[in-house]
Structure 1
């Protein structure tokens, strides 16, 4: 099965950068394909001045919606880090796309050709899945150790007057483990609304720090 409807995702971290080099590379890659392998339709998704660590990028979210709604069958990027700066998140995204039957191709990284016609696609995705599982196990271990260490230091998990660093780390690691806000609230005995607010504020802080 070859790609028929491709979505191309472009991203630059600052408004001072442009997308020209990424666009040229993708165009050259497509033109190098034999005519029967070129996509019938090509939809572009562009994020300007946004960090790859920000998963709420408008064009990125639109890209994923198009993929899950099967409006596109393959995602093209210049490099994997255009999709996400977080390696673990990127791998999880690739696995989720695969479950939806959507291919992925990084035009400048041949090893990341997960196109639907790649005979080694399943083997590569199995390796990515194993990496993701190892990372999840590592995170779970760190969460447990962190919570135990925090409790020994007298940290009380509940409705805090002010959030401690230990509490924020616990929230972040549990989120990375894949727990919902409701589950984290139950685990830490904190209101889900408070947890959502803390996660949002921390994301805003990290984005501001990276772009400063």
Structure 2
């Protein structure tokens, strides 16, 4: 295989563990300049470094990623992006923590079928887990409000869209500053509401 090796890393804005992913890519011989890193949400593929990497890869090249959830979290978009890279552009993909998701070795029809099935299952699981987290957070604050739990002192009105915005912030999809702006809250008030809400999740 004469293709060039590329690596892609995604971490959320609050996650600082990209060094582990970088080490795993360097250890398999990928040049540091060919490793692309985004500190953004995985909800879609509109990420600057990912799009730059995509413009640089050519047919026969190999893209290495640490795990599928680092690639993306939206099931349909992950499947579409995988198909575009492997089928349309002729780029191989290797998922380091899932040997079955290695298009360089599974070239026959059975191998391709197994890889496709694994990809769909893992993509679905990642999206389901993300939705479960959102649902638990939404149910938690609803339950807290019904019990008369007060958020902060003095009493602070809880914005109607607090759960939605809080969830996006917690998942790393938006920054705390962006969350405060959407909610119309000051920094101290925002974090106070967040802490009070998080207490309800573990009760």
Q: Could you tell me the TM-score, scaled by structure 2's length?
A: 0.52
Q: Could you say which residue in structure 1 is the equivalent of 2:92?
A: 103
Question: Which residue of 63, 75, 92 maps to 2:63?
Answer: 75
How many angstroms apart in 2 are the aligned matches of 1:121 and 1:20?
35
Q: Which residue number in structure 2 is paired with residue 25 of structure 1?
A: 24
After the TM superposition, which residues 73-152 of structure 1 pair with which residues of structure 2 at under 5 Å, given as runs? 73-99=61-87, 100-115=89-104, 118-120=105-107, 122-126=109-113, 128=116
| Distance in 1, Cα, partners of 2:166 & 2:84 | 28
Secondary structure of the corresponding residue to residue 89 of structure 1? helix
Structure 1 segments unaligned to the other structure (5+ residues)? 32-38, 133-203
Structure 1 residues 3 and 87: alpha-carbon distance in aligned structure 2, compared to 1, 3 A threshold = farther
In 2, the alpha carbon distance for the partners of 1:46 and 1:74 equals: 16
Residue 45 (structure 2) pairs with residue 46 (structure 1): no
Matching residue of 2:46: 56
Q: Distance in 1 between matches of 2:7 and 2:107?
A: 22
Matched residues, number: 128
TM-score, normalising length: structure 1: 0.50
RMSD in angstroms over aligned alpha carbons? 3.4
SS in 2 for 1:104: strand
What's 2:156 paired with? Answer: none
1:180-207 CA-to-partner distances (Å, cap 9, x unmatched) read: xxxxxxxxxxxxxxxxxxxxxxxx9985
1:66 is the counterpart of 2:94: no
Distance verdict in 2 for CA 1:205–1:71, change over 3 Å:
farther
Partner of 1:172: none
| Structure 2 alignment gaps of length 5 or more | 121-164, 177-203
Other-structure match for 1:9: 8
